[in-house]
Structures are given as C-alpha cells and as structure tokens.
Amino acid sequence: MNPILEQLYPDKTVVARRRQAGFPPLSGTLDAFTAYVHDDMRACYLNGCDPAAIVTACVLIDFALKDAIHFDAFVKAEQKFNAKQWDQIDGFDFSTSINSARARGVVNKDECKQLHWLRKEVRNVYPHGQTPDWIKNKSEDIWEGNLDTGDVQRRTVSVRDNIVLQRQIRIVADRNV
Amino acid sequence: MVLLVDKFVRVLHERSMKALANAAPTSRSKPTMAQVQGVLKNMKKQGFEGDLLVTNDYPAVP
C-alpha cells in the first residue's frame, strides 16, 4: 500500500476487495517471459502498488502482443522459428504491433480499438511522465479561499489550468487501475 | 487498466494455444513431449544435471 495514496484517498479495503475478486496467475503459458511480467503486475495490483502495476501492465501488453504476433507467424510457417522475422516483429513500436495483430486476425476490430485506446491514453503517456488529455480536459468543482479577505467561493475550474489538480486526479485514477 | 491488460494477455494466450493445437496434427515432423522426455532421460543418463531445459521449438501435443 502506498502511504501517500492512503493519506489522500484512504481505502482500507481495496487490497481485500481485489484479492477477493480473484486474480489467478497465468497457467500453462507458452512464453515464460510474459508469465513472469504478468505475475509482477498481478503482485503489484493485489498489494495496492498501483503505479508499479500500471507501468508493468504497459510493458506486459507490448511483450504479450508481440509474442502473439510471432506465434501466429510461427504456426503459419509450419512451426519453424524464423529469427529474421522475429527480429522484425521484435522491433515493432506498439502502434505497428496493434495494426499487425489486427491484419493477421490475432485481435478483432473491437480489441484493436481498445488496444489503441490503451496505447494513446495510458501506455504512451504514463511511463513518459505525461498527463493525458482526458485528465486535462476535465472540470472540477472546488472551494476557493482568499487568504487576505477570508472570503470563500465555490467555482468550477478547468483541470488544465491547475497542475495540483492534475496530479491529484492522477492519484485517484491510479487507484482505479 | 490492469484488468484490461490481464484480459488481453489471457485471450491472446488462449488463441495461441488453440492455434498450436489445431496445427499440431498437420505437422508430422513436430517433436512430441514423449520424444523430448526421452531425450532428457538420455541426457541424464550421460550425466546431465541441469534443472532447466530450453528448447527452440514447441513440442506438439502427445
């Protein structure tokens, strides 16, 4: 559990809820590396270490998708490993991986859309220290106080205009990983 | 987001397993698990003491 998150948005039951919902490890996996990274993501999630779970998930989906693309090529090529082809797949950026997976039928149209959403809103921004537009475009109702006069007022502010709000919303968003 | 990635990993894995199972009967040259185990047994007879076997292929369904 992250003490800063717990102080700002206490939720003593989040770990218990996540564990109760069930999150089994991968079984009988073809790719040991995918299973290994998946298990780390799972451990972070089940222990309330949300930023670590998100970053690990970003890495995992990249590896898993490339593995699935390669496996599709491997099976179609009479199950012969082609190092040159693998090098090519291994060098794909995430967008190319998603489009390649779609072209090969490894993922369907809806899954392709979800993966591009994941790429744009999480994978391309979070590990690079960027704040996604869906956070900046939000509006929040806040109480604003004037330290000189003591006056307070409630008003709606654009999150884009307030970096502290952007950071706070990120913490809440992380909790809802 | 974590659960979405988890779902994807499981779906992709399941599809890969299915593709392999469907392809296995048509690929007569594929080694079976029995063949792999036989080779491993022979390695052990000749002094192999490792605890990890790495292959460059996926054994077919026995």
Closest CA of chain B from A66, distance in Å: 10
- Distance CA(A163)–CA(A131), nearest Å, equals 10
Task: Tell me the chain B residues in contact with residue A45 when contact means C-beta distances shorter than 8 Å.
Answer: 2
Mean pLDDT confidence for B19-39: 73
What's the farthest any 2 CA atoms get from each other in chain B? 50
- Distance CA(A123)–CA(A120), nearest Å, equals 6
Task: Tell me the chain A residues in contact with residue B57 when contact means C-beta distances shorter than 8 Å.
Answer: 79, 81
Whether residue A15 is found in the same domain as residue A56 = yes
CB proximity A111 to B under 8 Å:
yes
**Chain A CA closest to residue B20:** A75
CB proximity A86 to B under 8 Å:
no
Residues sharing a CB contact under 8 Å with residue B17, sequence separation 6 or more, in sequence order: A28, A30
* pLDDT tens-place values along chain A, 177 residues long: 778 877 777 777 888 888 998 888 887 667 788 899 999 999 999 988 889 999 999 999 999 999 999 999 988 887 778 899 999 999 999 999 999 999 999 999 999 999 999 999 899 988 888 988 889 999 988 888 888 888 899 999 999 999 988 988 888 888 776
Whether residue A9 is found in the same domain as residue A27 = yes
Please determine, for the modelled complex, whether the ipTM score is greater than 0.85: no
Q: Which domain holds residue A103?
A: 3-129
pTM of this prediction?
A: 0.80
Contact of A20 with A143, CB cutoff 8 Å = no
Interface contact flag, B27 A78, Cβ < 8 Å: yes
Domain map of chain B by residue range?
2-45
